[in-house]
Amino acid sequence: MTSQTNSQTNSQTTSQTTSQTTSQTTSQTTSQTTSRANSSADLQQRYAASLMNTFGPPRLVLTRGEGPYVWDAEGTRYLDLLGGIAVNALGHAHPALVEAVTRQLGTLGHVSNFFTTEPQVRLAEKLLSLLGLEPGGGKVFFTNSGTEANEAAFKLTRRTGRTHLVAMEGSFHGRTTGALALTSKAAYREPFEPLPGHVTFVPFGDPDALAAAVTDETAAVVVEPIQGEAGVLSPPAGFLARAREITTAHGALLWLDEVQTGMGRTGSWMAHAESGVTPDVVTLAKGLAGGIPIGAMVAVGESGTLLGPGSHGTTFGGNPVSAAAALAVIGTIEEDGLLDNATKVGELLRAGLADPRVTEVRGRGLLIGLDLDAAVAAQVADAALRHGVILNPCTPQRIRLAPPLVLTAEQAEEFLALWPTILDEGYAAAEQAAADRAGSA
């Protein structure tokens, strides 16, 4: 009897303890989940209440990153194939970048442009060398972003005494008013017209149209070696060389916008390198400092003397922290062989993206565009997000990939294994949405 009682008591105690533990664990898990969910939802609501609605609602609340991965507020991991729109060259939280920024900020963080610093000078020298220029072969003006680099280049072209510019259809050069004037997309430009400058747009890659548009009154022709915003479009072979001939014949500047394509993105330091062309102006930004804000306008030869003291300025451009970050990015790309990695992993991705529903895959290095046979890019990107992959639907039928240059073959294959399923679900969602619209009509 006593034994039975003890047994029952032990059993009850064990049962109670197990029940309590389970209840507590369930309660804690529920509480943590609710807390996390509330945290994400709360931040989304506070974002909507306090930030200007220029980008639409954010897709996720991200809390941390490592390499090519990011995590949201709920702890879900995502493979980041957007890379901050081609910015995060070294991925997230790279030790070299963290160390460089920390060390520089702990030494000298900002000095204004009344002074200079060693990182600023060293970065300018490095950029000139990456463009293949001998010492004294060009000058650098640092900015805070790509659009400001293009804005500086726009002003530089005015110092030729000419005001006519020729830009490409499908181009994107930024959102400040000067850069916007050179941006092709009507939806971006027209709400803000009149914009500065006399600008003629010609079809991208059409040498005859370019030759007809450029005159002795043309200050410059601005070209992206590969158009990223338009869906990673390359001009025909020989177009940049022909643009060089045309501009030289008319005494106009050739300005190459490498904001997205530069700094190793295509497997070369500059996307125009294989053309053999020497431009007059090159603008850079995005991957230059791996996420620390910076841009640069590099003017070659005599073009480097067009702007003088007082003709342009910037508060943060050439900041020693940004310059140190850029030097760390460049050094890591060199030491870790990331140009070759971009080429090899890019080839792997382009080959693996083939599918009957994918009508074209293009690009160079780790700047990749693909066309779908239907306007379902947004639904495909949504499906990818549900599978833990971040893609960029840059047009209704086009998707752009611009992952960190540190992306490995194994990580690329992780995505490619999911790709058919992502397409299945994206197309199914689009078909269901079309059926719902038809039913409600």
CA 237 – CA 364 distance, rounded (Å): 14
CA 156 – CA 177 distance, rounded (Å): 15
Q: Would you say 227 is a known binding-site residue?
A: no
Are the C-beta atoms of residues 162 and 218 closer than 8 Å to each other?
yes
Are the C-beta atoms of residues 182 and 167 closer than 8 Å to each other?
yes
Are the C-beta atoms of residues 279 and 317 closer than 8 Å to each other?
no
Q: Would you say 258 is a known binding-site residue?
A: yes
Residue 343: other Cβ atoms inside 10 A:
17
| CA-closest candidate to residue 264, choices 189, 337, 173 | 337
Are the C-beta atoms of residues 209 and 201 closer than 8 Å to each other?
no
Q: Would you say 257 is a known binding-site residue?
A: yes
Q: Would you say 315 is a known binding-site residue?
A: yes
CA 78 – CA 70 distance, rounded (Å): 5
Q: What's the token pair of residue 17?
A: 């303890």
What 430-436 contacts at long range (C-beta under 8 Å, 24+ apart), as own/partner pairs, is 430/374, 430/375, 430/376, 430/379, 433/379
Give the helix/strand (H/E) hosting 140: strand 138-143
Q: Would you say 199 is a known binding-site residue?
A: no
Q: Would you say 72 is a known binding-site residue?
A: no
Q: Would you say 437 is a known binding-site residue?
A: no
C-alpha distance from residue 23 to each of 9, 95, 201, 398 (Å): 20, 42, 68, 49
CA 215 – CA 165 distance, rounded (Å): 10
Task: Give rounded-to-5 percent helix, strand, coil for the chain.
Answer: 45, 15, 35
Are the C-beta atoms of residues 226 and 233 closer than 8 Å to each other?
yes
CA 393 – CA 390 distance, rounded (Å): 10
DSSP 31-50: HHHHHHHHHHHHHHHHHHHH
Q: Would you say 231 is a known binding-site residue?
A: no
What φ, ψ does residue 60 adopt, rounded to 5°? Answer: -145, 160
Q: Which residues are annotated as a binding site for N(2)-acetyl-L-ornithine?
A: 175, 314
Q: Which residues are annotated as a binding site for pyridoxal 5'-phosphate?
A: 146-147, 172, 257-260, 315
